[in-house]
Amino acid sequence: MSETVEKAPAAPARRPGGALRRLLRNPLGLIPAVLLAAIVVAVLLAPVLSPQDPDTADLADSFGGAAAGHPLGFDSAGRDLLSRLLHGGRFTLGGAVIALLVALALGVPAGLLAGYRGGRFDAAASWTVDLVMALPAMVVLLASRAILGNTVWVLMVVLGVLVAPSFFRLVRGIVAGVRGELYVDAAKVSGLTDLRIVARHVLIVVRAPIIIQVALVAGLAIGLQAGLEFLGIGSGDTPTWGAMLNEAFQNMEQAPSMIVWPGLALGLTSASLVLLAGALRDALEDRGDRPAPARPRRRPRADTPAATAPADADGAERADLLSVRGLAVSYGTKEVVHGIDLDVRAGEIVGLVGESGSGKSQTAFSILGILPEGGRVSGGSVTVLGREIVGLPEREHRALRGDVVAYVPQEPMSNLDPSFTIGAQLVEPMRYKLGISKAEAKRRALDLLRQVEIPDPERTYGSYPHEISGGMAQRVLIAGAMSCDPKLLIADEPTTALDVMVQAEILGLLRRLQAERGLGVLLVTHNLGVVADLCDRVGVMHDGRIVESGPVERVLGEPAEPYTRRLLGAVLDDVPARAPWRPAQKETA
Amino acid sequence: MLSFVLRRTAAGVVLLFVISVLSYLLLSIPDNDVGRQLLGNRAAQDLVDAKNAELGLDRPVLAQYADWLAHALRGDFGTSWFTGEDVLQSITTRLPVTLSLMVGVTLVSAVLSLLLGVWAGVRRGAIDRFVQILGVVGYALPGFLVTLVIVVVFAVRLGWFPAIGYIGFSESPSGWLSTITLPIASLSVATVAGVSQQVRGAVIDVLRQDYVRTLRARGLPPGRILFRHVLRNAAAPPLTVLGLQFVGMLGGAVLVEQIFGLPGIGSMTVTYTTRGDIPMIMAIVMFTVVGVIAINLLVDVLIGWLNPKARVS
Amino acid sequence: MKDEAVKDDAAKDRALLTVEDLWVSFPGKGFRAPRTEVLKGVSLEVRPGETLGMVGGSGSGKTTIGRAILGLAPVRSGSITFAGERIERAPAKQRRRLSKDLQVVFQDPYTSLNPSLAIGDTLSEPLLAQGIGRREARRRVGDLLERVHLPSDAAARLPREFSGGQRQRVAIARALAIGPKLIVCDEPVSALDLTTQRTVLDLLLEIQERTNVSYLFVSHDLAVVRFVSHRVAVLHRGEIVETGDAARVTADPQHPYTRSLLLSAPVADVAEQRARREAFEHERAAS
């Protein structure tokens, strides 16, 4: 069975003490923790707290209600309910503890070994685990009772074996992920032994998920254990919560309220465990410790008022195709783009260049109206073909996407839906936007694939994204952007993920298509070489502002702003090559 | 795809064989003097020996197993040691009860989980919190406790449904419905809780993917993106969990059938395992494991059908 | 003193690292799939204090060379000699001893540091592995941070509190911790912004000047390689197609692949880029 269920590992917090404090500050953590502690203490102190021996029966009291010294009343045999509840908890909770210990002892070391070493042990262990997981636990427990006899503790060991796979798979999955991490490679190169790597780098990652899983499995074990007892299996005459529920169920007609107390005890314990697991997850994981999936967006200087943009050199007259004035983009109260001006005319390629976090992609997304969750245009005006799109209803904005404004993304592979063929992904928008027939759409799609210089259009048409290379995927995405004859193309780092030679080909392709179709292009990039290659005009973005803009030759040739100069100064194109190595090289500086 | 199904089927057969060997050997460990149990304490020893020989219990365990396997392969699971019933016949008469329970639960939970999960994942906010709380509560409460509460409320207090008993579908469809509704509802709580969480998580996850943004940028409407692209890519985790839940459901069926007095495989399990009736237990184990393997295969085929990338590996 | 210098010179002429006819392959994906040959007979050498730049496209095998030298990729045949010792199949114990002299800086500064370990713990790891005491290790961590121009209070903080460039400085500090002779730099600046990239490269050069450490510098960016390397080797589909002094290879490439590689990288000068583009298209048409 696939491993898709397991969540990606999240790094735990560094100071466990801090996690505990966070846990107890969360009411959803504090309440279950207190409840569980109270239940455990009460059960442990059963001999002291019980009004009488749990097996003392007096038929005169049978089904008796609450009485002095017997707050919960009596059962069918006249035994004190409170005493039985307290003593019964010992078996129910004790059994769960045994099952947990067995499961941990089996699952965690095997999972660590299988995940870290892989190979034959992994294969054998995984096969065994699949086998155990194919067994219905209840049937096995019932069958084991036939084999092992009627002892609750032995059955709990079996239950432990049955739930061990959940720990194994959890630990194995996480460890196999960690094993591929560069920091583990770095630790190996640093000369750490395997044991030390596991102790320092691996255990710290699996610790939090294991703790959470313990709480979940404990709930499960208690439920199964009580279920067995309810069936009258495993406990004989000893008082347990499950057996009490069974007795209550048998006598539901005479004493319907008897079901309440054992039911409450069981329900509260299980619910507390699961709630605690959830709160633990929040306390241990949600600390922002997880490895950043991408470069973090640099925080713009806070509280700078949405300054009106610096007067743009060519900003006075608004371009007919795309014109941006004073555009501001915010996430919550945090502004990331502070009022920028931008124009793209038909048949013109405008570059928007900047480093990561400069706000260039946010600008592109706001023009398309596809800002990520939480982001919004917080000021300014954007016109496409003279029509204001800031504040436009989503439906009308959507109508512009695809056939007026098109988009070429950065990362080719992740931008194709893995479940559909290339052909299906090209045909769908055309059929929807242009209302053409399937056959017509297919003909156009094949034509587009030919136009983006894909060698075997028919084959690519029928391929899935994972069957083609990154360069091909980017051509497909360009074909997709062209499919509904847009007027304006927004390309967000269209060549960043590609090899230089593929990049040169894609740049050539973009240049050709642009010229043929008279497209206006807004090209977002961090690469000044790409700007020099393709663009007519360029805006240099820094910290959410356009610091300089103008014709490419002017901006790259005679930069006016210090930031542009700094950027150009970091380019290594014209730096002389390093001199050859000489053995007599002086070591002193 | 076909070779994948064949390979998985072959692996399933191997698994079934290994489980049959292990079960038989384990079940033979306790020195239950079956002949003595059958004939009682006062029976003469030679009669007991003769009874044991008649059942084949005087032979080595492996020989007993080989004999069992040879017959089982021909579809002959023998007769119960203690009641003399034909094993296959008692299973096949009880199977429809358990199957209708399972199919009902699977359908109900698939539909409800999909609705709740998608709603929570797309809308977030209050409905999202509700689904998450439902997930916690449904997962936390032991299944039989939920069943007891349902019986108390809907059968005992409100009297909407019978608390106990079973009417076959062929006898009376409406009677069948009234007797099976509460059992299905009881078992569905945990499944809906688990699967809707998975749907929710997977939907949220897929909505964040780059290709969803690109689809939006192509001007496709959100409903179309959700139902054509997001759901398809989000299907694998909930399906996998549904497959896992099925195994748990079999255990739940034991309790639910016992509580509602349904004449299914589950309640039968309790009766026969108590006595160590090897022919019966073996047949029950084999049937449930075949069920589990079939469901897992079905889930994998579904995932492979939905996700071309999974087909390759 | 003078005698020693002469002797040192003689020693310096000998290579620190020699790789001869190295073959590396990985098992194919799926049952009975053919093995993928990643390196097909690669030979190279790095001398003390020298930087050898290794440039190539994705899938050329350039990263695998570094990993094979570090013992992170399986060597099928061929030899790797480091400081007079054969290491291509070094057992774990020898590897741990080698770690004193042979170090690495990886490409991705976000995954090469354990997100849940404080910078100081990451940096003291190699020191402790070499049997250095805790107190001494802590003192040296302070020195290391200073050498890579990070504030000394960085030791107590977690990786996520740092930018990409700063994290890469931490990775460099970790590599420097026990005074290595060779550092494998696997695309150390390709995940960084332009301005950050330059400062990290300057730091690497400064460290080499001071410590005479050798670099095997792997990158896809010919401009970066040219800037930091004495010599450049061009890798294409698992084979070295051209080797030579940096100025020679990047100004007067002999192999057509090197020429295409050079011409395909756009430069930030409109007129020059137009000329290169035409030359590239010409080169393509010719091949």
10-residue mean pLDDT series, chain B (313 residues)? 82 89 81 72 79 79 88 86 85 88 90 91 83 80 83 83 80 85 89 88 90 92 91 88 81 85 84 79 87 86 80 55
Q: How far apart are CA A102 and CA A162, in angstroms?
A: 10
The 8-class DSSP code of residue B60 comes to -
**A155 in reach of chain B (CB within 8 A):** no
> Taking the mean position of all CA atoms in its chain, how far away is CA C59?
17
pTM for the structure as a whole: 0.81
A422: pLDDT strictly greater than 90: yes
In chain A, pLDDT over 70 holds for what percent of residues?
A: 86
pLDDT in tens, C73-95: 989 999 999 998 999 988 988 98
Q: How far apart are CA A106 and CA B213, in angstroms?
A: 44
Task: Write down the pLDDT at residue C242.
Answer: 94
Identity of the residue in B214, B289, B300 whose CB atom sits nearest the CB atom of A407: B214
Strand (E) or helix (H) holding A520: strand A520-525
Buried/exposed code over A23-60 (b: 16+ C-beta within 10 A; e: otherwise): beeeeebeebbebbeebeebbeebeeebbeebeebeee
pLDDT in tens, A33-70: 898 898 888 888 877 777 777 777 776 666 666 666 66
- More confident call, B67 vs A521: A521
Question: Which of C45, C58, C114 should be substituted to probe chain A, the one whose Cβ sees the most A Cβ atoms within 10 Å?
Answer: C114
**Of A495, A477, A493, A490, residue with least CA distance to A519:** A490
- Chain A nearest C-alpha distance from B211 (Å): 4
* Chain A residue nearest residue B296, CA to CA: A1
Task: Write down the pLDDT at residue A319.
Answer: 85
**A227 in reach of chain B (CB within 8 A):** yes
A495: pLDDT strictly greater than 60: yes
Interface list for A 500-519 with C (CB within 8 A): 500-501, 503-504, 507-508
Cβ distance of C116 and A14 shorter than 8 Å: yes
Residues 6 or more apart from C229 whose CB is under 8 A from it? A578, C51, C52, C53, C215, C217, C246
Using a CB-CB cut-off of 8 Å, the residues of chain A touching C92 are: 193-194
Rg (CA), chain A: 34
* Arithmetic mean of pLDDT over chain C: 88
**Of C207, C186, C232, residue with least CA distance to C66:** C186
Q: How far apart are CA B275 and CA B272, in angstroms?
A: 6
* Chain B residue nearest residue A143, CA to CA: B273
Q: How far apart are CA A483 and CA A429, in angstroms?
A: 8
Identity of the residue in B217, B233, B254 whose CB atom sits nearest the CB atom of A419: B233
Task: Write down the pLDDT at residue A290.
Answer: 36
CB contacts < 8 A (B, C): 3
Q: How confident is the model at residue C32 (pLDDT cuts 50, 70, 90)?
A: low
- The upper half-sphere exposure of residue A221, i.e. CA atoms within 13 Å in the direction of its Cβ, equals 34
**A466 in reach of chain B (CB within 8 A):** yes
Question: Which of A178, A189, A498 should be substituted to probe chain C, the one whose Cβ sees the most C Cβ atoms within 10 Å?
Answer: A189
- More confident call, A231 vs C134: C134
* Arithmetic mean of pLDDT over chain A: 82
Diameter over CA atoms, chain A = 107
- Report in angstroms the alpha-carbon separations of A489 from A190, A497, A524, A578: 48, 19, 11, 41
Q: What is the mean pLDDT of residues A538-561?
A: 94
Identity of the residue in A200, A570, A580 whose CB atom sits nearest the CB atom of C195: A570
Task: Write down the pLDDT at residue A106.
Answer: 93
Cβ distance of A190 and C115 shorter than 8 Å: no
* Chain B residue nearest residue A262, CA to CA: B145
Cβ distance of A429 and B219 shorter than 8 Å: yes
What angle separates helix B125-140 from helix B87-123, to the nearest 10 degrees? 150
Q: How far apart are CA B6 and CA B11, in angstroms?
A: 9
Cβ distance of C12 and A575 shorter than 8 Å: no
- Chain A nearest C-alpha distance from B150 (Å): 12
- Report in angstroms the alpha-carbon separations of C241 from A164, C104, C238: 54, 25, 9
Question: Which of A142, A276, A362 should be substituted to probe chain B, the one whose Cβ sees the most B Cβ atoms within 10 Å?
Answer: A142
A571: pLDDT strictly greater than 80: yes
Task: Write down the pLDDT at residue A73.
Answer: 72
In chain C, pLDDT over 70 holds for what percent of residues?
A: 93
pLDDT in tens, A281-329: 777 765 433 333 333 333 333 333 333 334 444 445 788 899 999 999 9
* Chain B residue nearest residue C31, CA to CA: B313
CB contacts < 8 A (A, C): 222
In chain C, pLDDT over 90 holds for what percent of residues?
A: 49
* Chain B residue nearest residue C29, CA to CA: B313
Q: How far apart are CA A18 and CA B302, in angstroms?
A: 44
Instruction: Report phi then psi at A220, rounded to 5.
Output: -60, -45
Burial class of B6 by CB neighbour count within 10 A (0 to 12, 13 to 18, 19+): exposed
Task: Write down the pLDDT at residue C29.
Answer: 62
Task: Write down the pLDDT at residue A26.
Answer: 78
Q: In this predicted structure, which of A251-260, A481-490, C252-261 has the lowest mean pLDDT?
A: A251-260
- Report in angstroms the alpha-carbon separations of A461 from A409, A422, A486, B226: 20, 5, 22, 23
Chains that touch C (3 or more CB pairs under 8 A): A, B
Q: Per DSSP, what are the bridge partners of residue C42?
A: C22
Q: How far apart are CA A96 and CA A93, in angstroms?
A: 5
What angle separates helix B143-150 from helix A203-230, to the nearest 10 degrees? 40
Cβ distance of B307 and A480 shorter than 8 Å: no
DSSP A286-310: TTT-SPPSSPPPPPPPTT---PPPP
Cβ distance of A573 and C268 shorter than 8 Å: yes
- Chain B nearest C-alpha distance from C32 (Å): 13
Using a CB-CB cut-off of 8 Å, the residues of chain C touching A361 are: none
Using a CB-CB cut-off of 8 Å, the residues of chain C touching A569 are: 198
Interface list for A 275-314 with C (CB within 8 A): 288-292, 295-296, 298
- Chain B nearest C-alpha distance from A548 (Å): 28
